[in-house]
Amino acid sequence: MIYLGGEAEVRIEEEVVIKKRKPKRYRIKDIDEILRLRRTRTEARLISLARRAGVPTPVILDVEGDTIIMERIHGIPVKDCMSEEISREIGRLVAKLHSVNIIHGDITPMNMILSEGKIYFVDFGLAFIDSRIESKGVDVHVYFESLKAGFENWESLKKAFIEGYLELGREEVIKRAEEIEERGRYVERKLK
């Protein structure tokens, strides 16, 4: 199977996943190549760092230029099996990411797989390192927005996530995520 995303082509084979960053035609060729190589190495490094922090991720098998070869995780996409228990565990795992200052950048049920009782984070294409509460709050806010967009019981899923996050994470991150949501509402009201 081949999936084409905004940043990469992902080929899923029997036991491996091959993620190749696509060239951007609007960028100067030499700069584009440097950016793709740097972002590929950064993504592989952050996947490994997340794993060392206790967050299940695929094992990186090889990095070749703009391509990452990693283990394929067989399981069910979290979007297809979401529950309060799963959302609570996602909260714990995001707190672990944040404890080592990894900002995932795209925490959604589409980017996680449930396999053998573990939730694997499988896409770190937008991830970066940042210790600021604002960045962590935005990370959490993205997850909350994905719940609103995808699940009727989003409020109970959000509550469960917060419970899990606060077991290991900082309350000020949750407060910042709520402030970010309120800023969005304020802008919406002003535009009307």
Q: For residue range 28-82, list pLDDT tens digits in order.
A: 999 999 999 999 999 999 999 999 999 999 999 999 999 999 999 999 999 999 9
Sheet holding 2-4, edge to edge: 2-4, 8-12, 16-21, 67-71, 60-64
Select from 35, 29, 5 the least CA-distant residue to 17: 5
Q: For residue range 10-21, list pLDDT tens digits in order.
A: 999 999 999 999
Q: What is the pLDDT of residue 116?
A: 96
Q: For residue range 113-160, list pLDDT tens digits in order.
A: 999 999 999 999 999 999 999 999 999 999 999 999 999 999 999 999
Burial 87-126 (b: 16+ CB within 10 A, else e): bbbbbbbbbbbbeeebbbbbbbbebbbbeeeebbbbbbbb
Q: How far is CA 103 from the centre of its chain?
A: 8
The CATH architecture annotation of domain 2-71 reads: 2-Layer Sandwich (3.30)
Provide the mean pLDDT of the chain.
93
* Active-site residue, selected from the candidate residues 62, 106, 130, 139: 106
- Please state the three-class secondary structure of 12-32 as a single string: ECCCEEEEEECCCCCCCHHHH
Active site residue 106: yes
- DSSP state for residue 111 in the 8-state scheme: G
pLDDT confidence band for 25 (50 / 70 / 90): confident
Q: What is the pLDDT of residue 23?
A: 87
Domain ranges of the chain: 2-71, 76-191
Chosen CATH of 76-191 out of 2.40.420.20, 1.10.510.10, 3.40.20.10, 2.40.110.10: 1.10.510.10
Q: Is the pLDDT of residue 24 over 90?
A: no
